[in-house]
Structure 1
Amino acid sequence: MAPIVLYSTRRTPAGRAVELTAKMIGIELDVQYIDLAKKENMTEEYLKMNPMHTVPTVNDNGVPLYDSHAIIIYLVQKYAKDDTLYPAKDLVKQANINAMLHFESGVLFARLRWILEPVFYWGQTEVPQEKIDSVHKAYDLLEATLKTSGTDYLVGRTITLADISVSTSLCTLNALFPADASKYPLVLAYLKRLEQTMPHYQEINTDRANEALQLYNQKLGKYGSSCMRRIQAVIFGNLDSSSGTTPTSVAMLEMQLKSAIVRLSPTMY
């Protein structure tokens, strides 16, 4: 049987969760990184597999699946040698894992995307303080969760899919906005513990989170260039009359830029 094909990008937390899960259960993936900027997620072939045009998507010998949380549950239930990562019969533990998967998607990743998408694709030069504050609120929630857990991991005494999924977005958020050790000792100890115990964590999580940080810093510098300032000046009608820019052309350009933003914004779940 051919390896499961994973379509993803290197830096997306969602795709990294699938890669980490595969490593944990010992299955091989044929990883194919696609270029969202080139709209490789909008091809006819890709849309047949995933009409949501998100990443990651997997193709398990003709069976396409999308959404990282659905994928990692599927992989464990079908291919894992035991149910440690996602218990089949312990419904309470399973429900608690599901809750943390929703936390990763609705809180951690949502905040990450809220911050990165405008910088990567909209030309934003600064991150509003309210967005940074929202990251710290997420750390507050996770610190409280770890305290309530009373164990080394989010749900029980061993690594589960909750830890795999949460670790990906958390690792990237912490690279961009480091958690204060005095406020979030449990969060930082948790990340360190995962790095030491989860196979290939450094390669798949830490290194790629640092890649995201590097790209983030590059984008902020790029958008601060005179070229971007000129574009922003056009949008807000601040060019002098010698530029030949009219109110009509400004409005048209603004519409074109907004349209481009919608087309280029990545979708990663």
Structure 2
Amino acid sequence: MAIDLYFTAGSAPCRVVLLVAAALDLQLNLKPLNLWEREQLQADFLKLNPQHTVPTIVDEGFPLWESRAISRYLVNKYGGDSSSLYPKDLMARALVDQRLDFDIGTLYPRFAQYFYPQVFGGAKPDAAALKKLEEALVFLNAFLEGQKYVTGDVLTIADLSLVATISTIDAAEISLKSYPNVEKWFELMKTTAPDYQNANQKGIDEFKKLIAQMKAKTEL
């Protein structure tokens, strides 16, 4: 039975779930929500998720939201005992968790604080916010020093989460050239993340369209 995924095209957190599902070869029943039309506030969806956020999954009647929680759940349930996506070893798993927390608590919020006021509100670029984002990218570059993936030599859900963020930063035309380890890893992820084109790049293309539309409105 397919897992229902309520999602919005272009959303980085939604792309995380698509990437993890692809890595696990899971079938998803995609249920797009138009946030601009406030479809997330419909009564049926609020019963599933009172926070009315995407992504949200429903698996055998069990609703769950927050992309990193969903990622852990899917691997724990469907990945099998030997899945390297979210390793069983305590220290290895803790490192994956740290990278996931870095993504949701540091990297993505700093990008959002810098970029979204510009594209959605027409604000001028904030130099202080950009500096904080650049600091986060320096951290990620350091994590990747001497490593193939963000926790070592094996692809994990931390990579899938972080590539959704980094590809969004790249789509926003924020240069990664000062972070060579990040650039190298990003190119690797495009070829090693399962079904990257469908799971992530299609959403990036939608995100770019949204940016263009919003910039056109704020420039009127």
Query: What TM bracket, shorter-length normalisation?
Result: over 0.9
Counterpart CA distance in 1 for 2:182 and 2:98 is: 18
Counterpart CA distance in 1 for 2:60 and 2:160 is: 24
Does structure 1 conserve the Cα–Cα contact (< 8 Å) formed by 2:56 and 2:65? yes
Q: Percent identity over the alignment?
A: 32
**Matching of residues 88-127 of structure 1 within 5 Å:** 88=88, 90-119=89-118, 121=120, 123-127=121-125
Output the amino acid matched with 2:134.
H
Does structure 2 conserve the Cα–Cα contact (< 8 Å) formed by 1:132 and 1:177? no
Which of 128, 142, 145 does residue 144 from structure 1 map onto? 142
Counterpart secondary structure, 1:41:
helix
Counterpart CA distance in 2 for 1:70 and 1:180 is: 28
Does structure 2 conserve the Cα–Cα contact (< 8 Å) formed by 1:126 and 1:220? no
12-21 vs 111-120, greater mean Cα deviation: 111-120
Task: Tell me the equivalent position of 1:173.
Answer: 169
CA distance change for structure 1 residues 120 and 33 in 2, over 3 Å: closer, same or farther? Answer: farther
**Matching of residues 68-87 of structure 1 within 5 Å:** 68-81=67-80, 82-87=82-87
- 2:219 is the alignment partner of 1:221: no
Task: Tell me the equivalent position of 1:200.
Answer: 195
Counterpart CA distance in 2 for 1:152 and 1:31 is: 32
Output the amino acid matched with 1:166.
L
Task: Tell me the equivalent position of 1:212.
Answer: 207
Counterpart secondary structure, 2:194:
coil
- 2:2 is the alignment partner of 1:6: no
92-101 vs 171-180, greater mean Cα deviation: 171-180
Output the amino acid matched with 1:135.
L
Q: Over aligned residues, Cα RMSD in angstroms?
A: 1.7
Counterpart secondary structure, 2:117:
helix
Task: Tell me the equivalent position of 2:66.
Answer: 67
Task: Tell me the equivalent position of 1:185.
Answer: 180
Q: How many residues align?
A: 219
Counterpart CA distance in 1 for 2:103 and 2:30 is: 23
Output the amino acid matched with 1:6.
L
What TM-score results when the alignment is normalised by the length of structure 2? 0.92
Gaps of at least 5 residues in structure 2 are: none
Counterpart CA distance in 2 for 1:175 and 1:9 is: 17
CA distance change for structure 1 residues 111 and 214 in 2, over 3 Å: closer, same or farther? Answer: farther
Q: CA deviation at 1:196?
A: 1.0
Counterpart secondary structure, 1:133:
helix
Counterpart CA distance in 2 for 1:195 and 1:117 is: 25
Counterpart CA distance in 2 for 1:119 and 1:58 is: 31
Gaps of at least 5 residues in structure 1 are: 226-269
Aligned structure 1 segments of 4 or more residues deviating by more than 6 angstroms: none
The higher radius of gyration belongs to: 1
**Matching of residues 244-263 of structure 1 within 5 Å:** none
Task: Tell me the equivalent position of 1:244.
Answer: none
